[in-house]
Amino acid sequence: MIRALTVGMDTKTIVITGASGGIGAATAHRLGRDGHNLVLAARREAALATVAEGIAGDVLTVPTDVTRRADVERLRDRALERFGAVDVWINNAGRGLSVPVLELTDADIDDMITTNVKSALYGMQVIVPHFEERRRGHLINVSSFLARAPLAPVRSAYSAAKAALNSLTSNLRMELAQPYPQIHVSTVMPGMVQTDFATNAMGDGGVPVPPPAAASAAMGIQTADDVAEVIAALIERPRAEVYTNPTSPETARRWFDSLRAFEPL
């Protein structure tokens, strides 16, 4: 790999799951430009290699199925073997589902919880003890604006899973705040992002679901690079929660303040 051109900055070792495409790949490229050491994880080994080839920096790729705890433990171990320590862990892997609430099956719910909640929980449980030993570190869980406002009802189970992830993340942050003030726990909530996420979402026979009109009108559509910039800034200046779209906080506040703004009562 070509070494990064950035000189004199605080180089960190950063693990990114779901790094073979979309937000994960864009974040890897963005952080690579800052000269960080990267550990990229995803199931698609060839796609991971392609992402790594375009990054200027020290990159380790680890084929990983984040729905398997043993795989996530191996990801941590490979990162520690290569770089000695991990500074930032980004739980980004996830998958969508396009099924109305009344048509959801047990298997649908199980899949959404496994891919969007348990996978991140495994990441939290394997890396936070390492952070505790070092008394510092940064855990970033990539959630969704849909965890806060139901602007896309067809994504109901996905939204519910991301809401559960938000709650787990907040509770972990509270657990660590007093004994480990230098361990940061952050939630990132993208809005509508132009990636292949919709195409890869389950349901509708694999046919992409167009962006909901309400969501598009409320926030507009971002690129994966836009989200990557927010994550890079978050690593430099940790915060508890961040929306990637500037209009998202206001949209969420309006929904909580008045359901009439979004739902017929």
- 158 belongs to the catalytic site: yes
- Specify the pLDDT at position 212: 53
Question: Mean pLDDT over residues 229-255, rounded?
Answer: 91
For residues 162-176, give the mean pLDDT.
Answer: 98
CA 107 vs CA 104, 159, 198, 258: distances in Å: 8, 16, 19, 34
Q: 13-261: which CATH topology?
A: Rossmann fold (3.40.50)
Closest by CA position to 112, among listed 124, 123, 104, 102:
104
Domain parsing of the chain, residue ranges: 13-261
**pLDDT tens-digit profile of 175-234?**
999 999 999 999 999 988 775 544 444 454 444 445 555 555 556 789 999 999 999 999
Catalytically annotated residue among 122, 158, 180, 243: 158
Average pLDDT over residues 97-107: 95
Alpha-carbon distance of 131 to 133, in angstroms, equals: 5
Phi, psi of 4 (to 5 degrees): -65, 155
For the segment 22-69, what is each residue's pLDDT rounded down to a tens digit? 999 999 999 999 999 999 999 999 999 999 998 988 999 999 999 999
**Mean per-residue pLDDT, 133-152:** 94
Q: What is the pLDDT of residue 162?
A: 97
**Residue 253, CB half-sphere, CA atoms under 13 Å: how many?**
6
